[in-house]
Structure 1
C-alpha cells in the first residue's frame, strides 16, 4: 500500500465512524480525535474499521500511533506488503 492509498483509507474510515466529518479539512498532523471531537468509542470504532478495511491487525498498544492522518498512514504503509 502506498502513502496516498493509506491516507485515503484513513479518511474513509474516519468518515464511516463520524458521518459528516470534514476530513478534507484535516491537516496531516492534526490530532483528529480532538478536531472531530471523537470519544473513546468513536476512536475504537475507527481502529476496527481501519483494521478491517486494510487487513492489518491493529493491537491495543498500536493505537497511540494512530492519532493523526500522517501517523495512521505511516502505520498502514509499514504494516502492509
Structure 2
C-alpha cells in the first residue's frame, strides 16, 4: 500500500464515524481524535473500520501509535 492509498483509507474510516469531516485544512500532525471530537467509542470504531478496510490487523497495543494522519499512514504503509 502506498501513502496515497493509506491516506484515503484513513479518510474513509474517519468519515464512517464523522460523515462531514473536513480534511482540507487538516495538518498531517494534527491529532485526529481531538480534531474530529472522537470519544472513546468513536475512536474504537475508527480503529476497527481502518483495520477492516485496510486489511491490516490493528490491536489495542497499536492504538497509541495511530494518532495523527501521518502516524496512521506510516503504520499502514509499513505493514
TM-score range, shorter chain: over 0.9
Question: Which consecutive residues of structure 2, in runs of 5 or more, have no partner in the other structure?
Answer: none
Query: How many residues get paired?
Result: 79
| Per-residue deviation, residues 19-61 of structure 1 (Å, max 9, x unmatched) | 1111232111000101111101001000000000011110100
TM-score normalised per structure 2: 0.94
Spell out the pairing of 1:38-77 with structure 2 (5 A cutoff). 38-77=38-77
More helix as a share of residues = 1
- Give 5+ residue unaligned stretches, structure 1: none
- Runs ≥4 residues deviating over 2 A: none
CA drift of 1:17 comes to 1.1
Aligned CA RMSD, in angstroms, stands at 0.8
TM-score (norm 1): 0.92
Q: Which residue of 2 aligns with 1:7?
A: 7
1:28 alignment counterpart: 28
